[in-house]
Chain A
Amino acid sequence: MILDIASLRAVFLGDRQADRVVPPSGFTAQLTVFAAAVMAFLAVFAMALSLAAGRLADRWGEELARSATIRIVAPLDQRAVQTEAALRILETTRGVASARALSDEEQQELLAPWFGSELALDTLPVPRLIEVIENSDGVDAAGLRLRLAAEVPGAVLDDHSRWRAPLIQAATRLRILGWASILLIAAAVAAMITLAANAALAANAQVIRVLRLVGATDGYIGQAFIRRFTLRAFSGAAVGTALGLIAMLFLPDASDAGGFLTGLGFQGWHWLWPLLIPLLAGAVAFAATGAAARRTLRELS
């Protein structure tokens, strides 16, 4: 009873005669389906979490690694001069792809969430921001700081690494946690199916003895049970996944205003990932029932 094409075919196409030799079971069957559905529902969220965390880590890693910011903190009358000086230095710095000072409007936009849009920026000593985009060589941050310190006393270089690292680490951990949850859920499904299959095999000990006596192979007897539990786990997980996806649809869309919390959904082709959950549940049930059946049958003559 290895996992081969023939036995997989038997699971899905079935044999109505073979199905009938094992008596129908009512309540416990529904429990198996229910448990599989719940596990699949949870797996959808674990998967969404993993994928969203992965996206977050990638985005932060990509965008922030290639950019830096220079703040010009100077009295209003010197700000423009110092900005010019800093830009000149950047032009001759290796590793800088482009550098530009943010306009008043852009700065206003950045500050709007905190101060409101009615703020008159020109009356406040708001530092000027210079956005530096690095090329693939990267900028020698220490060298740049020294040059800036010499020529532009009000310039502060922020290469983002200080707060980028812990954020990326957090997102990576979150992603690992999500995938670990999916593995644990799969293990729990395997345990649940094994218990249910063992119970069914024990309850049908007489059936199995009779089948052995009249010349049924282990494969035939095992198949009757494997098919049942595989289909139960598969159909339960399919329902659970569908419900989970519907729930995901009702989560608010990701938007700039909401930050990363609302990005906790599937995006693009990632919507296809959860379709693997029922298949995974079916495969887990197939293997778990097969192992349980082999164990039970070995003890019979």
Chain B
Amino acid sequence: MIELENVAYSYGGGELLSDISLKLAPGSFHFLTGPSGAGKTTLMKLCYGALLPTAGHIRLFGADVRGLDRDGITEIRRRVGVVHQDVQFLDHLNVTDNIALPLTVSGRHAEAAGSDLNELMSWVGLTNRADALPPELSGGERQRAALARAVIMSPDVILADEPTGNIDWEMSQRLLRLLIELNKMGKTVLIATHDLSLIRATKAHVQARVLRIANRRIQLAGADL
């Protein structure tokens, strides 16, 4: 689904990531960990075409990102659900409209607005917040709304960047259970987090592989976690 081959990325100052090779197979569950500033977010952005690698090749769903035009990248976005730590919404639309936004912008509002949307809302536990505006939501509610928005297009891959960064342990567990459920439905999941206890808690439920970024390179972390 997502393949990185000897990928390097450098900002103006110097190389942040180098010689990264990674393959996210369908249905796999990965954690991405490493110290702050190691390049977790950058790697995530490379995975959904928000950044282009400065060296190497990235193939998203079989297509080289360098060969994609802007609408091609858009096409990829519809197949990849993204959850950010500082998730942003359209603050003038209510929660329901925000969750349905990916459908709206791809011109498919009408058919899916009914039962699927309600089901999704109750799955993330936001049914009674349906008419609230995003600024009125708590941190946990925002993350769950973001997750619902990320999966409404039924994407093949879900990328979550520090999804539990702003919320308490209880809520993190709940969010993680949702991600595990998605993985059991066959979705590929990649979660960037520095929270090792979260990773440990997850490993009890699902076979997850842990990737660690250290010294600009990526390593497969062993069973020590």
Q: Tell me whether A215 and B78 are in contact in the complex, defined as CB-CB below 8 angstroms, given that A20-B97, A24-B92, A301-B50 are known contacts.
A: yes
Which segment, of B23-31, B102-110, B123-131, faces chain A? B102-110
B-chain residues with CB within 8 Å of residue A214 when the two chains form the complex: 77, 101-102, 105, 149
| Minimum distance in angstroms from A250 CB to a CB of chain B | 44
Q: In the complex, what distance in Å separates the CA atom of A24 from the CA atom of B82?
A: 27
A-chain residues with CB within 8 Å of residue B104 when the two chains form the complex: 17-18, 21
Pair A21/B50 contact, Cβ less than 8 Å: no
Q: Tell me whether A210 and B90 are in contact in the complex, defined as CB-CB below 8 angstroms, given that A216-B105, A217-B71 are known contacts.
A: yes
In this complex, how many residues of chain A approach chain B with their Cβ under 8 Å: the count is 22
Pair B90/A23 contact, Cβ less than 8 Å: yes
* Dominant SS among interface residues on chain A: helix
In this complex, how many residues of chain B approach chain A with their Cβ under 8 Å: the count is 27
Give the residue of A21, A212, A215, A297 whose beta carbon is less than 8 angstroms from that of B106.
A215
Q: Tell me whether A213 and B90 are in contact in the complex, defined as CB-CB below 8 angstroms, given that A21-B104, A220-B105 are known contacts.
A: no
* A211 beta carbon closer than 8 Å to chain B: yes
B-chain residues with CB within 8 Å of residue A21 when the two chains form the complex: 90, 93, 101, 104-105
Q: In the complex, what distance in Å separates the CA atom of A18 from the CA atom of B107?
A: 9
| Minimum distance in angstroms from B86 CB to a CB of chain A | 11
Pair A215/B74 contact, Cβ less than 8 Å: yes
* A92 beta carbon closer than 8 Å to chain B: no
Question: Which B residues have a C-beta under 8 Å from some C-beta of A?
Answer: 45, 49-51, 70-71, 73-75, 77-78, 82, 88-93, 97, 101-102, 104-106, 109, 149, 153
Can you list 20 contacts pairing A with B, beta carbon distance less than 8 Å?
A: A17-B109, A20-B97, A21-B90, A21-B93, A21-B101, A21-B104, A206-B88, A206-B91, A209-B88, A211-B101, A214-B102, A214-B105, A215-B75, A216-B74, A217-B70, A217-B71, A217-B74, A219-B71, A220-B105, A301-B45
Question: Which A residues have a C-beta under 8 Å from some C-beta of B?
Answer: 17-18, 20-21, 23-24, 206-207, 209-220, 297, 301
